[in-house]
Structure 1
């Protein structure tokens, strides 16, 4: 902490008493030194920031003379922090006119008793300044060490930028040579970088510029390589007047970035390729292979249930999307939600927890540069289905011109109602399902008979619906219908179009695989033996 008048007044051994407080904040202003003078105008010997000590040897007691009438105002103009008036030498009390002048001009005034020598005050100020200087050096050393340790992280460029913002108590951003943000401490900066275009025009390599915008003290350092090539610009800001930011620390960060930017480009390229390969494996359902490397690549894997996000856009927008998911950025507003992400086939793909999907998509689509397709909720083994759904939703979002479509939502093409008028869809279904609408399978015959007392028939439509709901998985469909999987396979391999209840009874019964009965006539149909022909896959029905 800097040496201030408040610090001086708090030292009980000096027995100082405040008479005039001055303007707000004056008591906490840093003191540069202490000066003793009895001159009516000591300003030629002052630099600003000092405490003036006087016994008022030449001051009149009742009213100021011509020389002392502007006494306090001259000291204020010179930047004096306050007046220490020693009583008991020339005056038993501080002259009232001097008190009035200090109150009118906002200059702090304190009383120094006769028992307190001025040299004691001088030593206290000197010790305070010395201690503050030592603390500043210690603080600078600690901050420099923290910046140096940032170089050894997985993403040194982003870590240096974020650490700098933390140390200066503000924000920081690294711009590329064309002025686009490459890394920043915050997702939204308080100052628009486009407004600093004039300040980014440097004529000298390694030059620095300082400005003030929107109440922020801003320092801009030009970053160049050893071969005199422009690598970018470091822009940092802190709330306050010009000069309040720690310029030496920003300069050191700029030097570290000049070394880190070149090396980081190659490491980022390797990491991006690794992430792309591992993301593709996860989308193909092989998450178990990836899991043991996830901590090093993404800092972990998201928690199930999951959704897949297909993120479509220009390259610069996709790079911004990657920075949104990046887990190795030590930012002040770090997003701790884990995500598996990488470039796959020209698009950015991300796998996030379903509970975090809304916040992710809102950040991705807020500026209109990206289009996102989102899958429904799945587990890791079902990720191939999620990839298909996200791909379809993304394609529909591009076609419809909306920034986000969730698979299966009202605006998604995954719902048939969005492309087919409901009455037409119903007519189509009635027409195509008419041949099997009244068709039933008889479970009372064959090797897999129904249990005693149970219904011995099942509708063909119910069998078809179970097979569709289970996405062609025979065992799951068999469980849903309550029959053996082999029986279900035989039913699915039959040809019900030859077994409609509306057709007249043919001379010779058609071969339909398994016994079937018409609900209208109750006449059983005998199917051909399944062993007479090769097994058919349900997917070829």
Structure 2
């Protein structure tokens, strides 16, 4: 709100003297200096008019005051000691009779001092309004991240009133006071029905004995997608309209889904119906699947790149379908958040197989916090041609003598991965070389195999690679 006339009259540095009653509810929107007998054509209302009375006399003060009152000025300041030694008594009587606040301006005070003082008060008010609007916008944005319901509730607190969000048919979706909202929604139904027929975003302002209501359409094109209704005990000031506008903008962003999102939802619906994948939202085949260990941080690293289709997985990793041509760039971005495994190029009809490849690559990448492609893993070509059932039976039979001794299995795995180099395997396990030698000798005795033979180590490598996947597909790296 602009400063009131009472606040301006009370400024000690101006020394203004009230000659009639000073209304405390009148805002001063500007200061206007005029010596015209009729300045009203140049006024908008709400001004503090200043004059020396150059053209005033007892004969014309009554119509002069009448015109000012009719125009809606905040008050009149009359300077003494310039043209008139004292304020004209007839002017005082006319102002008192017609309810116009009349302030006497002492001779040492120039009109420009009053103008500057009011300007400072207005600037302070505008700054306060802007600060409040900024803080409110920040709170509304924070609430909007949790959905339209929290946003509507926060707006009611910011305005000290009630709020509700209605769909185009007038049904209440969210409200700060549900019981009151349903009653007011019924009262607003005729107006909403009219506004719903509009082909552009619409708004209305209503007032009754209970409160002042503002209704704004939500949406940027076509008929409104929803309506935001706000009710307050007093008319909304300028800053409140700014706050409501911010809420409408946030609700519009939530309601106006990007075209790519709608296309993607349509394409996914097609997949569920058994239709072939396609459409602008799907990356062109071939694609790669990335398995990323960075969790939600991966989504931040990839940003809003519309070439990515990310999917959070139950184990906390993120799978991302990407065009094969963009895979290297997107792998590098995802790798900023943790290890990444990438599948071989695949068609949209073999994404399940590509996901398994990506997970296998990620399992190896975790050991070195690297970004690995499935094709980079050793032995994938050989393992990929084995029959899963036969390979699993072979592996279980070969390793059965080791039983459930995980320490022995891990030691054997490290030994095989080091190509029989005991010193290297011991360092990888973090044990003394003599400890590892004893474990390997025990494993060789249980298996009945000579681990110095390359063919034996090859068979064990395959068996360890197969069993590392449990019931999964063959292809997990054997180290």
TM-score by length of 2: 0.49
Which has more helix, going by share of residues? 2
